[in-house]
C-alpha cells in the first residue's frame, strides 16, 4: 500500500509505502486502507506481521531520509467475545515516545525494542478519524513516537487468541498526544502551527 503525498520536505513531496516483510494474513483485506487522514491495517486474530514504513520521493522508488518525523499508533481495544485476545505492537529505532497520562497501553522494553500492549476490552470501537483531534478516550489507546534521521522504520503487529475475525490497527503522523495544537479552534486562514513547519508529517489542523 502506498499513501501519496503524505508530506512535503524542502519542497519535495513524499509518499509513504507500507509493505510487509513477513507473511501477512488479513481477516478482511478490504479493511487495510487509508481511512480519512489515517492508515488502517487489518490483521487476522492469531497472526502477526512485520511491516516496513518507507518514505519515498513522490511517484518514485527513491527513499528520502528526513531529519525528524512523528508517527502515531492506535492499537485499539481487544474484543471480549474473541477469547483470550491480546494486541501488541513492537517498535525499534525511535528517539522518544509518549503515552497519555491515563492510558490503556502497557509498555515494556525488550532488548532494543519497546513492546506496547493494549489492555482495554470493549465492544464499542474508539477508532479515531483524525489524529490531531483525539478524544480523551482515544488518547488512552494511542502511542506517539518521534524518529530522527530516518527514511524507514519497522513495526511488528500481533494479535493473540484465535478466531476468524480481524483486528484493525490505526496509524498516522503527528498527533495531539505528542504535540497538542493550540490552533484547533481557529479559522483555517488564521492557523499558524510552528510545531510542524518543515517536518516530515503535517499538522492536520493547520
**Separation between Cα atoms, residue 132 and residue 180, nearest integer Å:** 7
Structural domain includes residue 139: yes
Structural domain includes residue 137: yes
Q: What is the pLDDT of residue 202?
A: 43
- Model-level pTM? 0.82
- Residue whose grid cell is 495531539: 176
Structural domain includes residue 88: yes
> Residue 188 pLDDT more than 50?
no
Nearest to 157 by CA among 18, 30, 59: 18
Structural domain includes residue 201: no
Residue 88: in which H helix or E strand, if any? Answer: strand 87-92
Residue numbers of the domain that contains 34: 2-196
| pLDDT tens figures, 118-141 | 887 765 667 788 888 888 888 998
**Interval 153-159 mean pLDDT:** 93
Residue 175: in which H helix or E strand, if any? Answer: none
- What is the number of domains present in the chain? 1
**Separation between Cα atoms, residue 35 and residue 168, nearest integer Å:** 11
Structural domain includes residue 164: yes
Structural domain includes residue 45: yes
Q: Which residues pair with 167 in a beta bridge?
A: 43
| pLDDT tens figures, 62-81 | 999 988 888 999 888 776 66
Structural domain includes residue 204: no
Amino acid at each position: 500500500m502506498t499513501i501519496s503525498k503524505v508530506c512535503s520536505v524542502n519542497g519535495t513531496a513524499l509518499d509513504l509505502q507500507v509493505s510487509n516483510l513477513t507473511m501477512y494474513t488479513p481477516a478482511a483485506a478490504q479493511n487495510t486502507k487509508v481511512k480519512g487522514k489515517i492508515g488502517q491495517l487489518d490483521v487476522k486474530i492469531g497472526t502477526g506481521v512485520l511491516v516496513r514504513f518507507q518514505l519515498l520521493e513522490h511517484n518514485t522508488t527513491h527513499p528520502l531520509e528526513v531529519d525528524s518525523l512523528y508517527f502515531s499508533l492506535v492499537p485499539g481495544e481487544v474484543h471480549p467475545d474473541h477469547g483470550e485476545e491480546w494486541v501488541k505492537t513492537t517498535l525499534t529505532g525511535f528517539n522518544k515516545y509518549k503515552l497519555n497520562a491515563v492510558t490503556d497501553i502497557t509498555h515494556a522494553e525488550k532488548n532494543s525494542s519497546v513492546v506496547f500492549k493494549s489492555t482495554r476490552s470493549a465492544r464499542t470501537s474508539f477508532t479515531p478519524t483524525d489524529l490531531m483531534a483525539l478524544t480523551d478516550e482515544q488518547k488512552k489507546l494511542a502511542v506517539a513516537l518521534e524518529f530522527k534521521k530516518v527514511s524507514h522504520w519497522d513495526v511488528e503487529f500481533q494479535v493473540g487468541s484465535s478466531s476468524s475475525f480481524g483486528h484493525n490497527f490505526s496509524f498516522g503522523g503527528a498527533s495531539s498526544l505528542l504535540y497538542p495544537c493550540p490552533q484547533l479552534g481557529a479559522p483555517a486562514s488564521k492557523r499558524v502551527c510552528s510545531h510542524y513547519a518543515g517536518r516530515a508529517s503535517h499538522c492536520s489542523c493547520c
